[in-house]
Structure 1
């Protein structure tokens, strides 16, 4: 019964979360019950339309050939001929030298730039890798647009790619049973092939550069249209603006460790999804994932002695500003463990310095977890949710079954309790089923970091009071009034992974509802 319910409920959740909030109209091939157009139990249809969202956002010179949307055509073909020159202003002169380093720069304000954020010196030193055919351009066709925009933004793109891949990895059976295996694999190849294309390696397989953004948010927003109509030099009289698509690269000169780690995570998941059916392709994805992760570690830079602040984040023009890169690094590391079974990747996340002991006997964290948990005397609670800027939810979902440490199971479960539960008093007056009114008590914070527990033991833990996220009258968790469905969908995916790992359906029915 558990297996059957998991398959049924997970089918509606496997795509994780859209790049941003969007509505998708039914397509001719959709599994639609015409007599019951609002068939909320048709998870197969929900999954299919969720996948179609990514077809609607495909970018490149092969869009017309994919067949999922007959009205889509090729677009932004000029992305295949981006001039390999330092970014130039159409008004004359170079863009702000700091643009591309995460502080906004001149291009965010003006938007009318062509070329790349790389310096001429860097281009000259690495031209054999960046421009092997010597045409003076880089080919960056492909990828996904961002929702209703036409910019290819790095973090929401790599997050969505890794999350769709994660759902397929966990619940492959559901895609097979609903006839959507080919569709999801087409999506995963499309976006991960783009990540491969956007990654430039040297002769030793090390990353020279990775392109994480094509286009400029402010410039793109000056003219809303179908992507097929946004051709190079599209001119908008009302805004006196020509549409241009500069490219932003992560290099040692202009680091973007959050962006490269996000791409590494997606490629690592893609390796797992294709290793048995297309091993050569899968191995290429893993090779690039490893190279991108190593480059992320190399370029990650903390400001002075402050381990809470980094200055190696990518540029976004103010549209998808990253809080930090520790979560993307952890997201990539946990998936690389699943790919290689090398526990060093887990240590990269959870390591502590036991040679240093605080007043209460706590040891400081030295792994990526240090960004959210200071030392072993504390136990942070992930009250947000798996999303483009905060992938800790996914990290703990995959970390807990590996470590079987109370801390990791506690954080994984607590977040789901927070999202789905209510206090006893509120639950008594609710018009919907409330999964939990108490939190499982895993023990004292300073004991969780090295206490072992298995998933089967969680059900026998005592309970304690705690906080809950606000709910709508119908039980919809409200973390934000913008794009709120994506957060609930992501929480639902985490809930189904929890059910799969523990055989505990406490949160599965909530995810279905």
Structure 2
């Protein structure tokens, strides 16, 4: 028996030698352990992606709520906008007729401070503000467990409150709870863009634009109602009083949008910066969320009036087109309403006059959207494998589709399908696995874009300056590569390196979705950020002791670890983070066939 064991061990050793030799002469290249392009850490990406909102906080609550040491209260004079037809777009007659609602303390001003700057500029534009808030809320609604698991839920809730508190402050209700006016924009793009300086230094004139019955801005009002409805769902269990307040304002704003027979797009104020093309998608977006929040059948009736069933696969979820997001929420409602029958679908067909034999499947349109992105039917697939739609914020559109893909998978078995696998590859591209070896998330690692088009972080007096920026704009998703995988990392470039609140909005949710399906114990958040100490008080950040050879971090070294290293070396499933460090058996800074052999020999010696 002993002789047989010895012979078996000799045979195993010979096999290992053969495998090792074949690996050494095969065309596999050694991979640097510190190669930043291989750090596919979705917990870290989720953490950093939210910090962009701290950099763009506006108003009198930045000191209290923001996490950055280098950002403080700004545009405090937004709290004292003069109530007249020069400082606002409201007529003097409208102001006088509604002064008791607009100016209850009688000081002749209105408080519209708070919210978030749109981008590198400091205007608070209505459409991207409302879209960003509702999409961030949607991500938290879908993947709350992942925010909690990574310790990012407190930060997320602070950001969501700051958005929605601003919306409620900007909504003016009369004594019966009816919305009389809603301030959707503060600041003029033309005036604002003449400056390049920190927001704390701004003193330029900032006009306020209001939606009224005469100027309804149906899309913007509806999009804001959607955000407040999502906010209700996100806070109803832990803070029911606050949640009910959010719902009250959501209902009031939707009633405002519904009652105006002269429904129109938001074209008074944003000029050419955010030219909205339709209001129906935002109206349905709000109605769907309100139905989910209240189960009031009226909202479903309103959504069915205008919902375009075939629109979702034609673009993707973004500030000017939320058909894809609306399709997801209606599909979720359908699952709750009558998952195993056609009552919901038949009701939609009847409401829209569709043929009774036409097949309606809301989730199928979501799947078709992702399929169109995966096969290049929408946009194109670059030589590096990146799904590209448009040069203006290509990464914004790409990550929004990733987010939709992970939502789809959550509601179809709650496991990754080809859609989440595609999303993972796209995020890995953005994290550095691309022809330029560039990471498009600022501050993520050493190969990240370093020159976002952002006034506050740059510290410059003009965007054309080329030196290092004063602050790192952690987590900002820059515009991204073009259709040929090229990118210019320059502060002055507002196409390749633009950063905006709507660019990051779906990216945050995509990171959470990817962590749900692909996260593991090797993915940790980071602590070396220039933030206020309070941030880490409730954030469980762990720095584990790495056991060399334990690639899956289960505290033991076995065949699973060997298999993981083999897949890494073959390129079928790359290691990252602590797992990559654990694979470096001889501590030479590389993971190669020698490490594989050493791990195999170690296991045979057990």
Question: Secondary structure in 1 aligned to 2:182?
Answer: strand
When residues 76 and 511 of structure 1 are mapped into structure 2, their CA distance, relative to the original with a 3 A threshold, is: same
The alpha-carbon deviation at position 254 of structure 1 amounts to 2.0
Higher-Rg member (1/2): 2
Asked if residue 507 in structure 1 is aligned to residue 411 in structure 2, the reply is no
Does 1 or 2 have the higher relative contact order (CA < 8 Å, sep 6+)?
Answer: 2
Partner of 2:328: 397
Q: In structure 2, what is the Cα distance between the partners aligned to 1:276 and 1:253?
A: 38
Q: 1:145 to 1:300 in 2, by over 3 A?
A: farther
Out of 392, 401, 409, the residue aligned to residue 491 of structure 1 is: 401
- 1:479 equivalent to 2:478? Answer no
CA distance in 1, matches of 2:130, 2:47: 20
Within-5 A mapping of 1:355-374: 367-369=305-307, 372=308
1:132 aligns with 2:63: no
| SS in structure 1 at match of 2:60 | coil
- 1:295 maps to 2:256: yes
**More divergent stretch after superposition (247-256 vs 195-204):** 247-256
What is residue 64 of structure 2 aligned with on the other side?
65
The Cα shift of 1:40 comes to 3.8
Kindly state the Cα deviation for residue 64 of structure 1 after the two structures are TM-superposed: 2.0
1:300–1:312: 8 Å Cα contact kept in structure 2? no
Partner of 2:73: 74
Q: Is the 8 A contact 1:214 1:245 kept in 2?
A: yes
The residue that corresponds to 2:5 in the other structure is none
Equivalence for 1:283: 244
Matches within 5 A, 1:25-174: 35=34, 37-87=36-86, 115-174=87-146
Aligned match of 2:235: 274
Q: 1:298 to 1:468 in 2, by over 3 A?
A: same
* CA distances 1:285-331 after superposition (whole Å, capped 9, x unpaired): 000000000101112526xxxxxxx4675531221011011011001
* 1:410 pairs with 2:364: yes
1:476-496 alpha-carbon deviations (Å, 9 max, x no partner): 111101211011111111001
Number of residue-to-residue matches in the alignment: 368
Alignment of 1:182 with 2:154, yes or no, is: yes
Contact 1:210–1:251 under 8 Å retained in 2: yes
Query: 1:380: Cα distance to partner?
Result: 4.7
* 2:183 aligned with 1:221: no
C-alpha change, 1:38 and 1:228, in structure 2 (3 Å) is farther
Secondary structure of the equivalent of 1:502?
A: coil
3-state SS, counterpart of residue 52 of structure 2 = helix
- Tell me the secondary structure at the aligned position of residue 224 of structure 1: coil
Q: Measure the CA separation in 2 of the matches of 1:209 and 1:381.
A: 31
Q: Deviations over 1:53-81 (max 9, x none)?
A: 11110001121233511000110000011
The whole-number CA distance in structure 2 between the counterparts of 1:52 and 1:287 is 29
Q: What is the distance in 1 between the residues matched to 2:183 and 2:131? A: 15
**TM-score scaled by length of structure 2:** 0.59
The answer to whether 1:388 aligns with 2:289 is no
Q: Secondary structure at the match of 1:210?
A: strand
CA contact (8 A) 1:85 1:118 kept: yes
When structure 1 is superposed on structure 2, of 269-278 and 412-421 the one drifting more is: 412-421
Q: Tell me the distance in 2 between the aligned counterparts of 1:397 and 1:40.
A: 31
1:220-241 deviation line (CA, Å, top 9, x unaligned): 00012111111x2xxxxxxxxx
2:179 corresponds to 1:248? no
Contact 1:265/1:331 (<8 A) preserved: yes
Given that residues 258 and 313 in structure 1 are in contact (C-alpha distance below 8 angstroms), is that contact kept between their aligned partners in structure 2?
Answer: no
- Between the aligned partners of 2:261 and 2:385, the Cα distance in structure 1 is 41
- Contact 2:56–2:119 (CA<8 Å) still a contact in 1? yes
Checking the alignment, whether the CA contact within 8 Å between 2:381 and 2:387 is kept in structure 1 is yes
Question: Distance in 1 between the 2:332 and 2:240 partners?
Answer: 26
Unaligned runs of 5+ in 1: 1-33, 88-114, 233-242, 303-309, 351-366, 374-378, 423-466
Q: Distance in 2 between matches of 1:39 and 1:134?
A: 60
Aligned to 1:413, the other structure's residue is in SS state: helix
Structure-2 separation of matches of 1:117 and 1:67: 30
Contact 1:211/1:247 (8 A) holds in 2: yes
Q: Which is helix-richer, 1 or 2?
A: 2
**Unaligned ranges ≥5, structure 2:** 1-32, 340-344, 346-359, 426-606
